[in-house]
Structure formats: structure tokens, C-alpha cells
Structure 1
């Protein structure tokens, strides 16, 4: 038996756009279940929002997301979490960085660091902070 932790991102109406964007960055498959699909509509204006969604890539990367219903409190917070993507090769990590950088605020440019051949941090256009690095020796 194995257990895997998966980053679950919470949005207010942007989950589908975020999942589509992350799929364009990391590849793989997007799965989405709306509130309407699940028969769980409490506000008709939110029927097509994401109740459960996931990007699952062949590399093993998996990110889940949903749209927090308006009846529930939601605050994106400040530095509440980072999504860390670690790889063994500079080419792969650099390709992810370049795609995630579209519309992002770079917090730490992707460059060599004392602890890693490459390390960088950015806040993407959805407000999610990503840390990307190449695993060091």
C-alpha cells in the first residue's frame, strides 16, 4: 500500500481556468466534475463551477482544485502554501518555469542556488506560489 499527498488548490470561480493552465504547463489529463454533474447545486449561478478537479501528468505530478461555493468563507491568504515541483533535470524544470511564468510575478528568478543546481519561485496569474528546483546532490 502506498500513500501520496496531493496539493489541493481552492479558488473562487477560477478552478477550471487554473486546471486548464496547469495542464498546458505539465501535460497529462484534466478531470473536472461540476456541482451540476454531482447533483449538488445550491446556487444556480455556480452550477458549472468545479466541485472536484485534477491534473494528473505522466511525470507523476498531480494537482487538485475546486471552486469554494459562495456560501462558504474563502480567503486566498498570504503565503498559506507553496506548490513545490522538483525534478532531476534542468531542461524539464526550465520548461515548466517558462510556461508557469506566463502572467506570473517572479519572486526569485530561476538560477543556481547553494542547495540546488536550479531554484526559482513565482506567483502565477491565479495567485498560487510555485517553487521549482532541480534536486541537488
Structure 2
């Protein structure tokens, strides 16, 4: 069974463009970024916020990730928001975990788990919490 598609939406306080560019470097895919400038929402952010991100979407074969800068809203980090990446191999989980950990904080290093997976958790350099999971093939 294929893992259900998850479409998380992230809100940043002015770092959306940098964050989404970083995630594209880690995950690949196509990245579309729409600034506030030239849209009806431009007046909400004033002259200093025109290049802030109104909407961004990163699309790969298996993932859709959407995000924006806060605009006029104040951002506070939640304590139970995580994004889970289900990996297809030991090599993939190791590479992604290493990339996302750069500049961040490892909460739980990659390790084998009691549920038959390799798993790890971290907070990336932008304060977003991630979980990485690779379900190992069952022993025969």
C-alpha cells in the first residue's frame, strides 16, 4: 500500500524563501514561489514586505509542501507540529537526515526501532520538527 499523500503548510516569519529553497535542495522537485508584490494581498504587507512569500509550493513525485511568510500575522512555534518523511532505503534516510540536520538540532539520532524501522527526529535550522522513517523489509 502506498503511503497517503500529506500536504503540510508551513508559515515563516520572513524566511519562507530560504526555507523552501533549502527543502528543494534536500528533496528535489519543482518549487514555485509567489511574492506578495503584484497581488491583491500586497497592500497588507506594505513596501517592506513586497518580496515576502505569499505562497510557495514544492512538488515532487511523492510530496507536496506548501508555505508562506506570515504577512501581518505574528508567528509562534507550536510544540506538536512535525512533518514525517517515509524513506525508501537506508541510503535515502541517512542522506536526508544528514541534510536536514545541517544547522539544526538532532532530537533522536537515526536508530533501529522496536517496530522494525530506522527512525530519527530533528529540528531543522528554521525551527521545523521532522521525523524520518524507513520501514525495513521483513526478515524471511
How many residues are aligned here?
Answer: 132
CA deviations on 1:48-95 (whole Å, 9 max, x unpaired) are: 01000011123x1221110011x3232122x23100001231111111
Aligned to 2:107: 107
**Equivalent residue in structure 2 for 1:53, among 53, 56, 61:** 56
CA contact (8 A) 1:116 1:133 kept: no
CA contact (8 A) 2:85 2:132 kept: yes
CA deviations on 1:4-55 (whole Å, 9 max, x unpaired) are: 4301111010000000000010011111001014242121111001000011
**Structure 2 unaligned blocks of 5 or more:** none
Aligned to 2:10: 9
**Equivalent residue in structure 1 for 2:68, among 66, 69, 83:** 66
Query: Hey, which bits of structure 1, 4+ residues long, moved more than 4 A?
Result: none
Normalised TM-score (structure 1) = 0.89
- Shift of the 125–118 alpha-carbon distance from structure 1 to 2, 3 Å rule, reads same
RMSD: 1.6
- Rounded to whole Å, the distance in 1 between the matches of 2:54 and 2:76 is 17
Normalised TM-score (structure 2) = 0.87
- Rounded to whole Å, the distance in 2 between the matches of 1:8 and 1:96 is 20
**CA radius of gyration, larger in:** 2
How many angstroms does 1:108 deviate by?
0.0
**Structure 1 unaligned blocks of 5 or more:** none
3-state SS of 1:88 partner: coil
